Amino acid sequence: MVVYADLIFLLNFLMDAAMLIVTAKTRKLSFRWWRIAGSAFLGASYVVMMFLPVPSFLFTFSVKCMFGAGMIMTAFGFGSLQNFLRTLGTFLLVNFAVAGGMFGIHYVWASSSDVMKGIVFTQSGTPMFQVHIGGMLFVLALVGPLMWWFRTVFGSAKQREVLTTFLAEVTIHVGDFTTSCKGLIDTGNQLYDPLTRTPVMVMEVSEWSEVLPIAWLQRIRTADVDQIISGLGVEEDFVWQDRLRLVPYRGVNRNTQFMLAIKPDKVVITHNNRQLEASKVLIGLDGGKLCSDGSYQAIIHPALISEVG
C-alpha cells in the first residue's frame, strides 16, 4: 500500500483550518490567519505522525488532548481558563459534527455490499443489525453530558453574540499619538468629571504603555495615582501634564478613590457602520483587565454615543 504523506498532510491542514475558522465564527472570536495556519500545521503534523515509527504512547487519549489544547492556544491564545475551555469545547463539537457528517455521507454513498457487512441474518432469513450492548450503554451514558456540553458551549456563544452588538471600535488621538481598541458601550457607566461634567471613558492602561513612564503604570495598577500628580514638576516632567486630571469615583468597597485621566484631542467611535466623533471626553486609565477574555479594552460612556449620534 502506498501512502502519500504530503496529500494526507495537505488534506488535514485544510480541514483543521476550516474547523478552526468555524470555531472562531461560532464563538465570535477575532483571529489572525497566521495563527490559524500555525494551529492547522500542528494538527496536520500529528496526523502524519501516525505513519511514522514513533512511540505508541503519542496516540493515547491524554496526548491527543494535549495536541487539541495546543491547537487552540496557538490559534486563539489562552485568555482565561473559562474562555479557553469554552473555545476548546466548541472546537471539539465542530470536530464531532464534521466527523458525523462524513460518516453519514459515506453511509449514504456506500454500495449494498458495504452496507451488508454490518448486518447479520437470523435463522428465518430476516436481516438484523448487530448491536453491541457495551457500546450502546456507553453511548447512552454520554447522552446527558454531551447535551449539557452542547448547551453550555452554544449558550455562551449566544451570550457573546449579544455582547458583540454593544462593541465598537475606538480610536483616540492625543497630539501625534493614536491608539485604537475595542470598547463596550455600557449604559451603566455614569462616571463624570465632577467639575466640568465631562464624561469619562475607562480604558486599560496597558494600551498606553508606549507613552507612559513605567513607574506610572505600576502606580496606576496599585491605585497610587495621587503620587503621580504630586510628583509632576518636582520628580519628573511629562509632555502631557496639562492634559492630566484626577477623577474621583467610588470603588467596590464604597470608598472614594481617584482615577488618573487624560484629556484627548478627540475620540472616534465606529459602531454599526457609523463613525462618531467626540472631543468633550476624558480617558480614565484602569490598572486591571476590563474583560477576562480580551473582547474589549475600554468601556464607552453612553453619553458619547447619544451626544454625537
Which CATH number characterizes residue 295's domain?
2.40.70
List the beta bridge partners of residue 247: 259
Q: Does residue 95 share a domain with residue 194?
A: no
Q: Which cell numbers hold the place of 303? A: 453619553
- Burial of residue 251 (CB within 10 Å: 0-12, 13-18, 19+) is exposed
Q: Does residue 285 share a domain with residue 206?
A: yes
Q: Does residue 203 share a domain with residue 178?
A: yes
Q: Which cell numbers hold the place of 197? A: 461634567
Q: Does residue 144 share a domain with residue 14?
A: yes
Q: Is residue 128 part of a domain?
A: no
Decide: 298 and 184 in contact? Cβ < 8 Å.
yes
Q: Is residue 124 part of a domain?
A: no
Q: Does residue 288 share a domain with residue 174?
A: yes
Q: Does residue 178 share a domain with residue 89?
A: no
Q: Does residue 214 share a domain with residue 145?
A: no
Q: Is residue 130 part of a domain?
A: no
Active site residues: 186
d(CA 232, CA 212): 13
Give, in order, the Cα–Cα distances in Å from 265 to each of 6, 228, 279, 282. Answer: 55, 22, 6, 10
Q: Does residue 201 share a domain with residue 149?
A: no
Q: Is residue 230 part of a domain?
A: yes
The whole-number pLDDT of residue 282 equals: 92
The whole-number pLDDT of residue 251 equals: 61
- Total domains in the chain come to 2
Write out the residue range of the structural domain in which residue 55 sits. 5-118+135-157
Torsion angle defined by CA atoms of residues 152, 155, 156 and 160, in that order, rounded to the nearest 10 degrees: 170
Decide: 290 and 297 in contact? Cβ < 8 Å.
yes
Q: Does residue 210 share a domain with residue 143?
A: no
The whole-number pLDDT of residue 86 equals: 78
Q: Is residue 72 part of a domain?
A: yes
Q: Is residue 129 part of a domain?
A: no
Q: Reduced to 3 states, what is the DSSP secondary structure of residue 139?
A: helix
Give, in order, the Cα–Cα distances in Å from 192 to each of 56, 225, 244, 267, 285. Answer: 63, 18, 15, 16, 14
Q: Does residue 184 share a domain with residue 78?
A: no
Q: Is residue 291 part of a domain?
A: yes
Each residue's pLDDT expressed in tens, for the chain with a length of 309 residues:
455 667 778 888 888 888 888 888 777 777 888 999 998 898 888 887 877 777 777 777 788 888 888 888 888 887 777 778 878 878 887 777 766 666 555 555 555 445 445 444 444 444 444 444 555 455 556 556 655 666 666 655 555 555 556 788 899 999 888 988 888 888 777 888 888 889 999 999 888 888 888 888 888 887 777 777 766 655 556 778 788 888 887 765 556 778 888 899 999 988 877 888 888 899 999 888 887 767 788 888 888 876 544
d(CA 203, CA 50): 48
Q: Does residue 181 share a domain with residue 112?
A: no
Q: Is residue 81 part of a domain?
A: yes
Q: Does residue 153 share a domain with residue 256?
A: no
